[in-house]
Chain A
Amino acid sequence: MSRIASSVAAVSLASALGLGLAGLANAQLVTNKDLSLAMAVTIAQTAVQTCKAQGYQVSAHVLGRNGEILVSMRGDDTGPHTLENSMKKAYTSRAQRLPSGKFAENVKANPTVGALHLTNMVPAQGGLPSMIGQDVIGAVGVSGAPGGDKDEVCAQAGIDKVAADLK
């Protein structure tokens, strides 16, 4: 008898909680805009070609909202680390919602910052977040130019190329 009472109580509680949750104001689905593959390819190719025109062979990554790889491109005659590094710069930009160079500056001021110990975080310039207004929908990372500032110029060119579509 007490067992039945308990389970009835449990069912009532569960259903009350269920109703309570369902009734919350923010119980709708989340609406996101995300990069298409076509746009991601345009960003990556523009970045690689911009650097190439300046005499720099680079690798590039474009990541999506969840840090997933949309496009990887390994540049001709680049160091073997550049593919990985471009991914990590992009990942850092996406996760920090900042240029990876800004994260590098922050790390200089605080070398024990926790984020540095997470996978794929790198304090190196050359990655930029891809934004729609304040919403970070992905990131681009470039590696291979002689200096992260030069990588970043090419990343910026890639984002600029699709700026009109980032809305």
Chain B
Amino acid sequence: MSKTVFGITGISLGFAFAVGVAASADAQLLAHKDLSLATATTIAMTALETCKAQGYNVSVHVLGREGQVVVALRNPAAGFATYENSMKKAYTARTTRAPSGRFAENVKGNPNAPQFFLTNFVAAQGALPIMVGNDTIGAIGISGAPGGDKDEVCAKAGIDRVAADLR
């Protein structure tokens, strides 16, 4: 008897929770826009070619919303560390939702910033977040030009190329 009562109570409680949760305002699925491979490839190739036209061989990463690789380009004509560095710059830009150069500035006086204890953060200019309005849907990172400012110019060219589609 007491066992049955507990069972019923348990079910009622569970039901109440379910209804409560289901009725809460944010119980809908998340709707968001993500990069297509075609758009990501255009961004990456435009950045690569922009740097090449300026005489710089660079490696490129375009990451998606969760920091996942959408396009990666290793340039054998660039230093071999550029592949990793372009990924880490992009990851930093994605997760801080800001240019990686800004993170570099922010941690200048703080060599033990907690972010340095996370994987894939790098304090280096050359990556930009890819935005749809205020929503960061990914990032592009460049490495190989003689200076992060020059990497960033190419990253910007990549994003500008698809600006009309980022909506």
Contact = CB atoms under 8 A, between A and B. Distances in A.
Interface of A: 34-37, 41, 45, 48, 64, 68-76, 80, 83
Interface string B51-76: 00000000000001000111111111
Given A41-B45, A48-B37, A69-B83, A74 B71 contact: yes
Going nearest first, the 8 A-B pairs with the smallest beta carbon separation are: A72-B72, A74-B70, A37-B75, A70-B74, A76-B36, A76-B37, A72-B69, A73-B71
Chain B interface main SS type: mixed
B41 interface: yes
A74 B73 contact: no
Contacts of A68: 74
B71 A69 contact: no
A36 B41 contact: no
Contacts, number: 47
Nearest to A65: B76
A36 B37 CA distance: 21
Contacts of A73: 37, 41, 70-71
A74 B75 contact: no
B76 A36 contact: yes
24 contacts: A36-B77, A37-B48, A37-B73, A37-B75, A41-B45, A41-B73, A64-B74, A69-B72, A70-B76, A71-B71, A71-B73, A71-B74, A72-B69, A72-B71, A72-B72, A73-B37, A73-B41, A73-B71, A74-B64, A74-B68, A74-B69, A74-B71, A76-B37, A83-B68
A58 to B, nearest CB: 10
A75 B76 contact: no
Given A45-B41, A73-B37, A64 B71 contact: no
